[in-house]
């Protein structure tokens, strides 16, 4: 039948079939290009759409960043999902708008700027320097190509240019800076005492209704953390054996290719005498300096000791006391003119006057160490270790790339990759969001283990490198998952009762502190009102005094400035439920004149930057108010 079709699919019939088949494909392609009937749109900024797919990607990225930054402190309940989605969408709208405005203003990012960011990124460096192979490999592991990544960087640079320009335009007047210094350096004379909650604790009976109400209102405190069991493939260069021992010929080739590493270049011990000349000096001054150096040269030629003359007349403060001795130098270390003259002299020979940007020199070479090359036999073991290391690195990165491809191509199993690469599929015990031991203590690994891709879609994770340049990679797969659950009331009843008694004691301490504060405001003396409590009188303190509770300092610096020797008073709740009563008896402002110019300039820059940031927020708010923005009321996941 197929042969019959082939024989008849000739001439105009064949072309008719091709045309009929091509029409829907062409229409589909145009529709896709134009976005007609395409993927859902979550927002539009001046006619530019933000797609559901782009939003979902950004949302997952933000959640992963939160997990990585917070580490063991991360909990899903910390962030309301609806609020977080709205914030992510707002940020995407803002970024999109800023990019549009920046392009309209003609702002662009040069190739040099993009390259500078890439070269400076530690993720693309090897031995502290940018390495193109590492760059290409890192992008492949992310599933990106260089043009795509570089275009993203270019847009990132452009979108931040406006902000940098606005912030840089802010300035601070002298009066504003003085006022800021007075406030920032302000000291307050304070005294305080603490009303401990423990004084008010009781063992009073609590009703079941009270206990149940507290338990329901504070269930987040009684949660069992979410946890997972995982399968994983671990690739570690340290556990890999080299395929073969490098041969003698291989090592000799490596030796020849890196001969510079084993070469000690010629070194010369030199001394000099310098008569300084300002680079902008006129011809008369330059000639006078030259005449002096010529006269000095004649003295030395007549038998004067070079070192003694240098101590007497040289104007180089770094070497004059040592008789002009500069120690050993190699080519390229000194000013080009000095370098050229020093390496043209014979040992013991005195140079003619040499002009550099510093002035006129007389140079003498006292010792020459010729070029020294370490022989192959001396560095053979070092070369062998290096060759093995490179071999293992190459094998590791090759396997890491294959691992990424295989686990991506078979997202529902680790077995194909394990068989192809000779790796063992291993299984963990239960791991909580706070992390486990060893490699599972890494924030990157935990972020991947609890990512949407692994938890919800049940796909293999991406290849993860827990430590940069450690040559260790891992791929995860979910085996089992337990959501965070709340312990039953029966299991936490004693804790609930203790918390309720603490809460009641804190409220009683607050009430007592409030009455004591009112007594002070009514004219009572601190020493009398604080009777029965430990009164602390640290005197003048700054905003950052280390040995005073932060809540006490914050309250002290928020209280009104005392007027006519009338102290001001307030209370502050401390971290563990105790309450402090705080009094301020005096204020000493910071002194603008006490700061040195460098410190004052630094304060001015920081204040200008803070003001500029406020300006920029106002600019963005204005741009948003004038832009045509549409969005969904609620952004649902596209997963």
Domain match, 422 and 456 both: yes
Let me know whether 282 and 360 are in one domain.
Answer: yes
Per-residue burial over 386-416, b if 16 or more Cβ lie within 10 Å, else e, is bbeeebbbeebbebbbebbebbeeeeeebee
Decide if 234 contacts 439 (C-beta within 8 A).
Answer: yes
Overall average pLDDT of the 99-113 stretch = 85
In a domain, 499, yes or no: yes
The verdict on 355 and 274 lying in the same domain is: yes
Angle between helices 376-409 and 248-257 (to 10 degrees): 100
The domain tally of the chain equals 4
When the pLDDT of each residue in the chain is averaged and rounded to a whole number, the result is 84
d(CA 609, CA 171): 8
Mean pLDDT of 607-628: 90
Residue recorded with tokens 């002298």: 174
Same domain, 361 and 273: yes
Residue with tokens 């062998």: 384
- CATH number assigned to the domain comprising residue 279: 3.10.50.40
pLDDT at 16: 40
How confident is the model at residue 133, as a pLDDT?
A: 80
Q: Residue 315, SS3? A: coil
- Helix, strand counts (H, E) of the chain: 21, 21
Does the residue 466 lie in any domain? yes
The arithmetic mean of pLDDT across residues 550-557, rounded, is: 95
Strands 187-195 and 359-369, how do they pair? unpaired
- Contact between residue 572 and residue 555 where contact means Cβ atoms under 8 Å apart: yes
Q: Are residues 501 and 517 in the same domain?
A: yes
| 464 plus 527 within the same structural domain | no
Residue 349 domain-assigned (yes or no): yes
* DSSP structural state of residue 393: H
Q: What is the pLDDT of residue 413?
A: 94
Chain-centroid distance, C-alpha 169:
26
Contact in structure between 360 and 289 (CB atoms under 8 Å): yes
Indicate the range of 54-68, 117-131, 193-207, 314-328 predicted with least confidence: 54-68
Euclidean distance between CA atoms 526 and 537, whole angstroms: 10
* Domain boundary, last residue among 330, 355, 370: 370
Both 431 and 525 in a single domain?
A: no
Residues 347 and 333 grouped into a single domain: yes
Q: Which of 441, 465, 483 marks a domain boundary?
A: 483
* 296 and 211 in a common domain: no
Alpha-helical segments (H) within 333-427: 336-342, 376-409, 415-421
> Cβ-count burial of 449 within 10 angstroms (0-12 exposed, 13-18 middle, 19+ buried)?
buried
Which stretch of DSSP H or E encloses residue 364?
strand 359-369
Same domain, 414 and 340: no
| Confidence at 3, pLDDT banded by 50, 70, 90 | very low
Mean of pLDDT values over 25-35: 37
Residue 497, domain member (yes or no)? yes
Check residue 226 and report its DSSP letter.
Answer: P
Determine, yes or no, domain membership for 83: no
Q: How far apart are CA 263 and CA 370, in angstroms?
A: 11
What burial class does residue 350 get, using C-beta atoms within 10 Å of its C-beta: 0-12 exposed, 13-18 middle, 19+ buried?
Answer: middle
Least Cα distance to 189 among 537, 438, 456 occurs for 537
Domain range for residue 25?
Answer: 2-34
pLDDT band per the 50, 70, 90 thresholds, residue 372 = confident
Same domain, 270 and 234: no
Residues 320 and 413 both lie in one domain: no
Distance of CA 269 to the CA centre of its chain: 45
Q: Is residue 459 part of a domain?
A: yes
Does residue 442 contact residue 450 with C-beta atoms inside 8 Å?
Answer: no
Q: Is the pLDDT of residue 504 over 70?
A: yes
Tokens matching residue 269: 């011990």
- The structure tokens listed for 492 are 């936490």
Q: Locate tokens 């890196």: which residue?
A: 258
The tokens for 73 are 């402190």
Q: Which residue has the higher pLDDT, 7 or 387?
A: 387
* 597 located within any domain: no
Provide the CATH number for the domain around residue 472. 3.10.50
> Torsion over CA of 476, 480, 481 and 487, rounded to 10 degrees?
-140
pLDDT band at 142 (very low <50, low <70, confident <90, very high): low
The strand pairing partners of 474, in sequence order, are: 234, 464
* Region for 143 from its dihedrals, namely left if φ exceeds 0, alpha if ψ lies in -120 to 50, beta otherwise: left
In a domain, 321, yes or no: yes
SS3 at position 189: strand
For residue 243, what pLDDT band results from cuts at 50, 70 and 90?
low
Which of 469, 433, 493 has the alpha carbon at shortest distance from 211?
493
C-alpha span between 274 and 351 (Å, rounded): 12
Higher-pLDDT residue of 312 and 564 is 312
Average pLDDT over residues 181-199: 94
Give whole-number Cα distances, 4 to 10, 11, 23, 228, 332, in Å: 11, 15, 25, 58, 80
Question: Which tokens in the block code for residue 471?
Answer: 């040559």
Comparison of pLDDT for 5 and 521, the residue scoring more: 521
Provide the residue count of the chain: 639
Q: What is the pLDDT of residue 350?
A: 94
The per-residue pLDDT for range 453-482, each reduced to its tens digit, is 898 889 999 998 887 666 788 999 999 998
Report the range out of 35-49, 80-94, 225-239, 515-529 with the highest average pLDDT.
515-529
> Would the pLDDT of 17 be above 50?
no
Q: What is the DSSP letter of 595?
A: S
Q: Does 35 score more than 50 pLDDT?
A: no
What predicted TM-score, i.e. pTM, was given to this entire model? 0.52
């Amino acid at each position: 039948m197929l042969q019959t079709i082939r024989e008849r699919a000739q001439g105009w019939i064949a072309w008719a079939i091709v045309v009929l088949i091509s029409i829907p494909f062409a229409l589909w392609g145009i529709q896709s290009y134009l976005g007609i009937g395409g993927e859902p749109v979550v927002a539009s900024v001046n006619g530019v759409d933000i797609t559901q797919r782009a939003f979902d990607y950004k949302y997952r990225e933000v959640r992963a960043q939160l997990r990585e930054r917070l580490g063991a402190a991360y909990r899903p309940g910390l962030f309301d999902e609806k609020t977080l989605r709205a914030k992510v969408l707002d940020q995407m709208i803002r970024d999109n708008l800023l990019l549009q405005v920046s392009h309209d203003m003609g702002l662009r990012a040069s190739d040099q700027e993009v390259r500078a960011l890439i070269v400076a990124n530690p993720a693309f460096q090897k031995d502290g320097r940018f390495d193109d192979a590492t760059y290409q490999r890192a992008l492949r592991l992310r599933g990106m190509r260089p043009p795509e990544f570089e275009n993203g960087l270019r847009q990132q640079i452009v979108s931040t240019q406006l902000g940098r320009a606005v912030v840089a335009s802010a300035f601070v007047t002298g009066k504003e800076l003085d006022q800021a210094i007075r406030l920032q350096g302000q000291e307050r004379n304070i005294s305080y005492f603490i009303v401990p909650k423990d004084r008010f604790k009781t063992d009073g009976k609590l009703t079941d209704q009270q206990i149940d109400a507290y338990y329901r209102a504070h269930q987040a405190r009684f949660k069992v953390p979410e946890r997972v069991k995982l399968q994983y493939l671990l690739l570690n260069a340290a556990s890999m054996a080299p395929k073969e021992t490098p041969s003698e010929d291989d090592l000799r080739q490596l030796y020849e290719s890196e001969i510079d590493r084993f070469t000690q270049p010629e070194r010369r011990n030199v001394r000099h005498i310098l008569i300084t000349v300002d680079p902008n000096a006129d011809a008369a001054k330059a000639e006078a300096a030259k005449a002096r150096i010529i006269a000095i040269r004649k003295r030395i030629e007549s038998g004067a000791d070079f070192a003694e003359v240098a101590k007497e007349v040289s104007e180089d403060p770094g070497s004059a006391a040592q008789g002009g001795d500069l120690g050993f130098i190699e080519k390229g270390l000194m000013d080009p003119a000095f370098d050229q003259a020093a390496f043209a002299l014979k040992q013991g020979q005195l140079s003619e006057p040499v002009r550099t940007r510093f002035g006129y020199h007389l140079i003498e070479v006292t010792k020459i160490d010729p070029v020294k090359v370490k022989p192959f036999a001396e560095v053979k073991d070092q070369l062998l270790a290096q060759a093995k290391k490179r071999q293992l690195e190459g094998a590791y990165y090759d396997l890491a790339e294959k691992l990424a491809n295989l686990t991506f191509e078979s997202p529902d199993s680790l077995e194909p990759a394990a068989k192809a690469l000779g790796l063992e599929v291993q299984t963990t015990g239960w791991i909580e969001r706070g992390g486990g031991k060893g490699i599972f203590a890494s924030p990157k690994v935990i972020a991947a283990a609890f990512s949407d891709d692994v938890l919800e879609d049940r796909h293999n994770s991406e290849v993860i490198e827990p430590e940069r340049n450690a040559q260790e990679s891992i791929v995860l797969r979910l085996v089992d998952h337990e959501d965070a659950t709340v312990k039953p009331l029966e299991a936490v009843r004693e804790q609930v009762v203790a918390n309720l008694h603490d809460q009641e004691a804190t409220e009683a301490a607050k009430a007592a502190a409030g009455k004591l504060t009112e007594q002070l405001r009514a004219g009572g003396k601190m020493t009398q009102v604080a009777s029965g409590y430990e009164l602390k009188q640290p005197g003048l303190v700054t905003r950052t005094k280390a040995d005073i509770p932060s809540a006490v300092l914050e309250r002290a610096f928020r209280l009104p400035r005392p007027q006519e020797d009338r102290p001001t008073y307030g209370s502050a709740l401390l971290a563990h439920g105790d309450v402090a009563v705080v009094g301020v008896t005096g204020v000493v402002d910071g002194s603008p004149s006490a700061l040195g110019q460098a410190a004052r300039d630094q304060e001015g820059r920081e204040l200008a930057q803070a003001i500029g940031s406020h300006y920029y927020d106002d600019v963005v708010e204005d741009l948003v108010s004038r832009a045509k923005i549409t969005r969904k009321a609620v952004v649902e996941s596209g997963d």
